Amino acid sequence: MIINKKKFIYLISPNKITISFYNDLIEILKSKKVSFFQLRLKKLSFKKKLVIGKRIKKICKKYQTKFLINDDVLLAKKLNADGCHLGQKDMNIIKAREIIKKKTIGITCHNSIKLAKLAIKNKADYLAFGAFYASKTKKTKFKANLNLLKKISKLTKTPIVAIGGINSINYKKLLLNKANFLAISGYIWNNKKLKPIDAIKILK
């Protein structure tokens, strides 16, 4: 996987897709800072995710952003997305690989070197660690720290994604401590002070 240092953002969708979302996404992807966009909708049916996913995929393709699906390997296959992200309770990476072949598969490793080593062994395309900071998007069960990033970066060349409560105040610390990509959602979509495009402009 080629890492473009300017495109360090791994953008996760808001929990709810509104009409204005698509225009916001276009503006954000035009900024050329986003390497990945992950569709993460826990409460919608497969059918509704399919409709939304098709529209997002076109936008991502136009702006050369990889389109990933959270949790659902079969949805990723149906949409012919660029890959999927798997949590520890989702489908096993080996089975997922049989379904979506050489597409990107990322694995949640929480704050565990043991889980990271297993994901590396199973040829995950990236490793996601967190939460680094308190997040309103998702309940935080696992806490990760900067020391973990340094340890993992010595273990592997597999790209590292940091997740959890990342914003304009703390993001640089993570990049300076070997995180290759920053998974961001709330700071962009639920920012009380800034529109999504203005929020992303601050991250340089």
Task: Give the pLDDT score at 1.
Answer: 76
State the average pLDDT over residues 63-86.
Answer: 98
Give me the percent of the chain exceeding a pLDDT of 90.
93
Q: Domain extents for the chain? A: 9-202
Contact by Cβ (8 Å): 68, 76:
yes
Please tell me the distance from the alpha carbon of residue 161 to that of residue 126, in angstroms, as a whole number.
Answer: 7
Average pLDDT over residues 83-93: 97
Name, in order, each residue with C-beta under 8 angstroms of 92's C-beta and a sequence gap of 6 or more: none
Predicted confidence at residue 184, as pLDDT, reads 98
The model's pTM is 0.96
Q: Give the per-residue pLDDT at 9.
A: 98
The per-residue pLDDT for 4 is 79
Where is pLDDT greater, at 172 or 4?
Answer: 172
Strands 9-12 and 83-86: unpaired
**Mean pLDDT throughout 80-99?**
97
User: Distance between CA 162 and CA 146 in Å, rounded?
Assistant: 10
Say whether pLDDT at 26 is over 80: yes
Per the CB < 8 A criterion, the answer to whether 11 and 38 are in contact is: yes
Confidence band (pLDDT; 50, 70, 90) for 25?
very high
- Written as six digits, the tokens of 104 are 């990107």
CATH superfamily of 9-202: Aldolase class I (3.20.20.70)
Tens-digit pLDDT profile for residues 98-157: 999 999 999 999 999 999 999 999 999 999 999 999 887 777 789 999 999 999 999 999
Tell me the C-alpha distance between 52 and 49, whole Å: 5
